[in-house]
Structure 1
């Protein structure tokens, strides 16, 4: 029951953020969006380091000075996986005029949702592989540590749900905008469940999966979140948001891990 609740926490964060369409009148101000994007970046970077990469290297401690190999290889594979998705999946980023990925005649709202969905895939995998590691008996990942990761991702999903839903309200209406925002997060529990189903088969490959999720998340941070948070004037707002998110996730992981 704790595991089911844990994998649903990030999805609930996205859903709560999407519900902002019902009680916020206008769109988020640019400064607020920068703060949220920076905050999400900080959470994801800290989660990648403390909750994924460090445990991956600790699990490979029997390799001695070569303990970095599984973490490095998984990290690069995760980066490559998101690069592939970014190339083949049609999507549109906020405030962008031209869509990215494969050329498809999709609605703007659909491509906006797909853009956020791409962000959420590695987050779901990260939560799932953390719980899978705990189930597999890894001494480097505890139940509270996995829950801390899920909670940190849920916190940064709240503004993400608002950022995707609010701009869609005028074109699609409140209810549809809420549903679109909520659905952008559905891949998180799905990805987590896939990782849980593989828990018994992971074995010695667990460090690769942990670092794979880290690489996928950091691809999103470096490719999209940080550039969007730094664009235009007052980029220092995004920087301060990053600091807040990083420290919060670090505290959660160390205090609850």
Structure 2
């Protein structure tokens, strides 16, 4: 189950990269915006139920200060990706290369999130259920679908073959299972810091949602479709946690 769970986000990226085999230029806006909204809703709910709530529950020994690790970890996670975004423009890369690098770097904390949650599931001292872990993994995979397409389609537009564009899009998600496995292997070392790391992963994902997914879903002619999709995604994740948690 852990092996499958670690691979699910990577499969999402691969399926998204596979869009290059069917689309000439890009995903239609009418499909992309609801998909981004749905992904954002799933990721927000996953951050709360699968990461922040377990973080607080693991810190109950702190009494009324049980919120402290979750707060610190979340703020650190939110603060990480802006630093990465500041570094990327200083590198002399083509626009397509910057996009590939940006998506790849953003996938690192998501891979850590998967590793942390499955490590928590395997630990008897943590309150992470198999449903929590699998739901988060599926949520990240849903988010990774458009990311895989966003990487592969511009490569096709720049003249690369469909096969090469697909390979580049797929490889952009390869860091996720790698960092998930590394996090699992280091679990004995990182176990005392689990509440902070869970919240850190939540913060990193919330930054991606607020800074990237929601703005992208809201571009162009305003309609409520992406908003409704967000609500549906949030409810799907909530139901998964309540029913199977």
Instruction: Tell me the TM-score normalised to structure 2 length.
Output: 0.92
Q: Say which of 99, 102, 122 aligns to 1:112.
A: 99
Q: CA deviation at 1:218?
A: 0.7
Instruction: Tell me the TM-score normalised to structure 1 length.
Output: 0.88
> Which deviates the most, 47-56 or 31-40?
31-40
Confirm or deny: 8 A CA contact 1:59 1:207 kept in the other structure.
yes
Aligned to 2:219: 231
Mapped to 1, the partners of 2:109 and 2:232 lie a distance apart of 21
Q: Say which of 189, 192, 204 aligns to 2:192.
A: 204
* CA shift digits 1:138-167 (9 cap, x unpaired): 341123321221122212322332233223
Q: CA deviation at 1:74?
A: 0.5
Q: Which runs of 5+ in 1 are unaligned?
A: 91-100
SS in 2 for 1:126: helix
Aligned to 1:155: 142
> Are 1:242 and 2:230 counterparts?
yes
RMSD of aligned residue pairs (Cα, Å): 1.7
Q: Which runs of 5+ in 2 are unaligned?
A: none
* CA shift digits 1:148-199 (9 cap, x unpaired): 2112221232233223322332322211211121111112112212211221
Mapped to 2, the partners of 1:183 and 1:175 lie a distance apart of 12
Aligned to 1:168: 155
Mapped to 2, the partners of 1:180 and 1:109 lie a distance apart of 11
How many pairs are equivalent? 244
Q: CA deviation at 1:55?
A: 0.6
How does 1:66-215 map onto structure 2 within 5 Å?
66-88=65-87, 90=88, 101-102=89-90, 104-171=91-158, 172-215=160-203
